[in-house]
Amino acid sequence: MRLADTFSALKADHRKAFVAYVAAGDPSFDLSLEIMHALAEIGADVIELGLPFSDPLADGIVNQMAADRALKAGMTTARTLELIGAFRKTNDKTPLVLFTYLNPIFTYGFGKFQKDAVAAGADGVLLLDLPPDEASLSAELAENHGLSHIRLIAPSTPPERVKFLAQQAEGFIYALSRSGVTGGHSAPAETIPAQVAAIKAHTDVPVCVGFGISNPQQSAMVAKSCDGVIVGSAIVKQVELNLTSPAQAVKDFTKPLIDAIR
């Protein structure tokens, strides 16, 4: 219920959500935990945790390198769930969403993963390479065991597909501001308002927009058209640039982006 409660409270206060992405275990278990707490402390409404994977095809170079650092630091799927559990020891409020691919989850055991993730304190999962219509072909894949299944919708998604995905969404919808891989190498598209309106025509689930948002001005601009802003690579880059003390660097960089949408 953390996701639903968070978005309900934000809506009641006429505020937009800030969703922050970081790679679990980057650059280490302990420093990653510090980063998560730092993000919650400065007002991140939802934290997306990238589950380290050796072949993250939808990620740009910044997030690829973050996953590589985490894997080299000993992060695994099980260790990522331990990280969530460690965060929940002192924070039972901030929703956590796992951002991942099917391969590591399927290897872990899909049903077992979802049960263990919920037990650890996760609230949702975004499986980049598992369309809901394919998941429905397997009872194990279709079950969620209490995890909200976040759906991804791109600008190039056909209208009939937008309707289908929007009606299948739980928690919130991740709307891509542009096509391509993750990263802040280009600004969000000017078509975002029309894109979000097209999604909202089919659902009451909150719509958050990500990809290419890397400064307060972009954060504020995007927030005008949706329910929340998602920032990932630009935050992860701060970790890369400050491997020995990343939490403070992440706070200093991210707080202005959060303040811009308040």
pLDDT at residue 238 is higher than 70: yes
Give residue 188's region: left, alpha or beta (phi > 0; psi -120 to 50). beta
pLDDT at site 179: 58
| 173 within a domain of the structure (yes/no) | no
pLDDT at site 187: 58
pLDDT at site 136: 77
| 178 within a domain of the structure (yes/no) | no
Give CA separation, 2 vs 6, 25, 93, in Å: 6, 23, 7
| 102 within a domain of the structure (yes/no) | yes
pLDDT band at 198 (very low <50, low <70, confident <90, very high): very high
Full strand arrangement of the beta sheet holding 17-23: 148-149, 124-127, 96-100, 46-50, 17-23, 228-231, 207-210, 173-176, 151-153
| 157 within a domain of the structure (yes/no) | no
pLDDT at site 182: 55
pLDDT at site 143: 74
| 58 within a domain of the structure (yes/no) | yes
1 or 196: which carries more pLDDT confidence?
196
Catalytic residues, by residue number, are 48, 59
* Residue at token pair 């891509």: 176
| 205 within a domain of the structure (yes/no) | no
Residue 229 maps to which CATH number?
3.20.20.70
Give the lowest-confidence range in 185-189, 219-223, 234-238.
185-189
Q: Which amino acid is at 186?
A: S
| 95 within a domain of the structure (yes/no) | yes
For residue 140, give both structure tokens: 């194990």
pLDDT band at 188 (very low <50, low <70, confident <90, very high): low
pLDDT at site 60: 86
For residues 161-184, give the mean pLDDT. 83
Q: What is the DSSP letter of 233?
A: H
pLDDT band at 55 (very low <50, low <70, confident <90, very high): confident
* Domain tally, the chain: 1
Range of the domain at 51: 2-149+214-259
| 87 within a domain of the structure (yes/no) | yes
For the stretch 90-148, pLDDT in tens is 999 999 999 999 999 989 998 899 999 999 999 999 999 988 888 777 777 767 778 99
